[in-house]
Every structure is written in structure tokens, then in C-alpha cells.
Structure 1
Amino acid sequence: MTRQLQLAYAFKRPRTAVPGMAMLDPSVTAMRVHPGDLDLYMHVNNGVYLQMMDIARTNLLADLGAIGALAERSWYPVLAASTMTYRRSLKLWDRFEITSRVLGWDARVVYLEQVFTRGGERCARGVVAARFLSRSGDRIPGHDVAAAFDPDAVAPGLPDDVRAWADAVGVAHRS
């Protein structure tokens, strides 16, 4: 529940936009492991990683100054797919960072990478495919989302592993 409250706060009272931040620039969110984040094995529960990623993605939107742009357009993000890899456990009171960055987009979704690090050492990596919808139910193409947040952004080629994953789970744009 504490991470849900933190997400609500990050959305309702977003941090200040970073001047000059471009769509493909990384956003860093610092966090600390709380008792409610732990599972019975005394490390962060796998589901909590996803909640932490929600907060970090909201901070990325805030850093881009995109929260207001979303509200003006009546758009909101939803996840179409996600995948995680874990290397090292996060334990009670550990301080860590989540670095979130847009990897690219296609006609359907925007792809992001979110890397958890503690003391400069990678603990976990998440890749997500985010779809944007309008309140009227329309799907917003990834290139329209990118243009709304950063008119100068040019879609980079996706890393091979992300492209293969997107094809395998069926979220990639099909021509």
C-alpha cells in the first residue's frame, strides 16, 4: 500500500520538469526499501518492483514536463507488456536508484527500460511497452506521444533484445 500512496503523490504533486530534458534522456528516481516491500524471504517482492517502476515512470513523465501535456490531451498511459530480469536482491533499508529511459517507439507503443542499481551495481532490469489511450478510448500512436512530449525526438532503432521480446509477446506494431 505504501508504494500506491507514493505513486499517487508522484502523480498529484509531480516533481518539477527538468529544463531541456529530451524524450530519450534518462530520469533517475532515488528510493529506499521499506518493510512493506519485503516478501517472506526478506528481500523486495517481485510485484513491488513493478510498483516501484510505476513511480519511476511517473517521475520520467514529470521530468519531461509531460504530466500537463497528458492532462491537456486527456491521455493516460497503460502497460501493454513488461519483462524483468533480476541479478541481486534489494533488502530492508537499501538505498537504490531506478534509471528510466525511453528506448524508442512504434505505431503502437513506447518502449522503456528501467534499471535498478544499488551503489552503482545493477540489481534488476525491467523493459516495458507502454500504450497511451485517450479518455474517449482511442489508442494514441507512439509517434504522436513522442511528438507531444518532445517535438524534436526521432525514434531510435530498438535494441535487438527489446525488438525480439516485443515481437514474441505480440506488442510490436505489425505492418
Structure 2
Amino acid sequence: MYPFFRLINTIVLSRKEKLTYLSQDSMTFRCRPWDIDIFMEMNNGRMITLFDLGRFSLISKCGLLPVLLKNKWAVVVAGSSIMYRKRIRMFDKVTMYTRVVGIDKKWVYLEQSMWVKGKPCCSMTIRTAVTCKGGLVATEEVIEAFGNGAEILPPEEWLSNWIENEEGRCWPPHVEQ
């Protein structure tokens, strides 16, 4: 089930802090019993769901949410890559960080990570876009509507490598059933 209570908490807390779109956002929460799997650690699918809240927090704090609502736009994830390094156990206090690491004409790239006791547990790189009924909205149009001095942010070398690798990735072949 989607963590609606955490979403409401994220909305309330995001109203108290303002950031720029290039700031690193952070939020803290506890791993709850409904977050764990049969191995008594946070389920990997739940981590991906909780990363949604981190993106929503940054969108809210930097002032992009009113722009999305006004224009009837939405944010969509178009690709992701995740690495796991350390287990998150029940009741661990988790700090999640979210930051924009690149913006090109079509995509906004984010890096998100979860940490427990100062140690990295997982990290996700995400390709996102703003959409409308007609499809993707060019980042230049989003930046103009945002009106916050936002600009294209060239990706760092590691991100350029990831983008290049993703562009060369093949879709699985169609399998007849």
C-alpha cells in the first residue's frame, strides 16, 4: 500500500522549509514494520516507493509544485538505476537525500540515497520528466514557467556515462505466449 500518511507528513513538513531546485533536500523517517520483508529488513520495492516521497519533498520545497498544479503537469519517472549497500532494519532511523544532478532539454536527473548512522544503504539515479496531456514538456518550458532563474545543468561525467549506457540498452524481445 502507498504510504499516504508519510505523504501527508511530507507535505506538511515541506511547507516549513524553502530550497532552490539545486539544493540537496533531506528527510528523516523510521523503518516501520510495514516496510520490511521476510528477512526483517526494508523491502527493496518499499525503498523505491519512499524515494517518491523524497522527490515530492524537493519539488514542494523549491516551489515547483504550484507550477505543476497551475499548468496541469505531472512528473514521471522514465528510468532508474539503484544500488544497495547496507541493510535497513526495522526501526532504523533513515536519512534520505535528494538532489538534482543534471538537466538537459528533455530530462531532469536526480540522485537519491538513504543513510543509517552515517553509512550509505542505497542510492538511486533517476531520469524524470514533466508531462502534460500532449506528452513530455521540454525542460526549457518548465524552467520558464518556474521563473526562478533555473537553467540547464550539464551532467557530471558519471551521469553522462549512465545516460549513454541507458541509450544503448536494448528492450527485451517480445515473447509470444
TM-score (norm 1): 0.86
Query: How well do the aligned residues superpose, as a CA RMSD in angstroms?
Result: 2.1
**Per-residue deviation, residues 9-57 of structure 1 (Å, max 9, x unmatched):** 26765721634x2111011111110111111111111111110100111
Aligned 8 A contact 2:11 2:60 in 1 = no
State the secondary structure of the residue aligned to 1:167: helix
Which residue of 2 is the match for residue 109 of structure 1? 107
Q: Given the alignment, which residue of 137, 140, 146 partners 2:137?
A: 140
Displacement of 1:77 in angstroms is 0.4
Which residue of 1 is the match for residue 3 of structure 2? 3
Aligned 8 A contact 2:15 2:61 in 1 = yes
Aligned 8 A contact 1:69 1:149 in 2 = yes
Q: Given the alignment, which residue of 7, 31, 34 partners 1:33?
A: 31
Aligned 8 A contact 1:64 1:149 in 2 = no
Q: Given the alignment, which residue of 118, 124, 127 partners 1:126?
A: 124
Listed as ranges, the gaps of 5+ residues in structure 1 are none
Shift in CA distance, 170/31, structure 1 to aligned 2, threshold 3 Å: same
**Paired residue total:** 168
Aligned 8 A contact 1:95 1:118 in 2 = yes
Which residue of 2 is the match for residue 59 of structure 1? 57
Identify which range, 117-126 or 79-88, moves more after superposition. Answer: 117-126
Aligned 8 A contact 1:80 1:130 in 2 = yes
Aligned 8 A contact 2:31 2:89 in 1 = yes
Which residue of 1 is the match for residue 21 of structure 2? 23
Listed as ranges, the gaps of 5+ residues in structure 2 are 169-177
Query: Aligned partners of 1:30, 1:11: CA distance in 2, in Å?
Result: 10
**Per-residue deviation, residues 64-89 of structure 1 (Å, max 9, x unmatched):** 12211110011100100011111111
State the secondary structure of the residue aligned to 2:114: strand
Query: Aligned partners of 1:146, 1:115: CA distance in 2, in Å?
Result: 25
Aligned 8 A contact 1:116 1:122 in 2 = yes
State the secondary structure of the residue aligned to 1:52: helix
Identity within the alignment, %: 24
Query: Aligned partners of 1:168, 1:53: CA distance in 2, in Å?
Result: 23
Which residue of 2 is the match for residue 78 of structure 1? 76
